[in-house]
């Protein structure tokens, strides 16, 4: 454990940030899986609805610095391609 007060504070902040990032990452993955699940079930309206919910989640992850914008664009493009293939 850190000895200096500022280092102790940073350690606490790092832990809080780690938990927040893990939660955001989990929400991101869940939203993507919902779209893929609807696509697998060949439910086009459900997939489109899930996609509309997933896009803001993906964009929010980019704005928070959780993922790179190119990764977000890749996810959105691939999900949209799956839906168009239905």
pLDDT digit string, tens, across residues 12-47: 999 999 999 999 999 999 999 999 999 999 999 999
The H or E element containing residue 6 is helix 5-40
So what's the pLDDT on residue 2?
83
CATH of the domain at 13: 1.20.58.110
Average pLDDT, the chain: 96
**Token pair for 8:** 């102790």
Task: Give the Å distances, CA to CA, from 50 to 16, 61, 80.
Answer: 29, 17, 11
Calpha distance 71→68 (Å, rounded): 5
Question: Is the pLDDT confidence value at 56 over 90?
Answer: yes
Q: How many domains does the chain fold into?
A: 1
71: containing domain? 5-85
């Amino acid at each position: 454990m850190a000895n200096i007060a500022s280092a102790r504070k940073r350690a606490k902040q790092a832990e809080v940030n780690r938990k927040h990032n893990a939660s955001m990452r989990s929400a991101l993955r869940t939203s993507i899986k919902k779209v893929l699940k609807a696509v697998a079930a060949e439910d086009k309206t459900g997939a489109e609805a899930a996609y509309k919910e997933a896009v803001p989640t993906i964009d929010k992850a980019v704005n928070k610095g959780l993922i790179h914008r190119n990764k977000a664009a890749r996810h959105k493009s691939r999900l949209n391609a799956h839906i168009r293939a239905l």
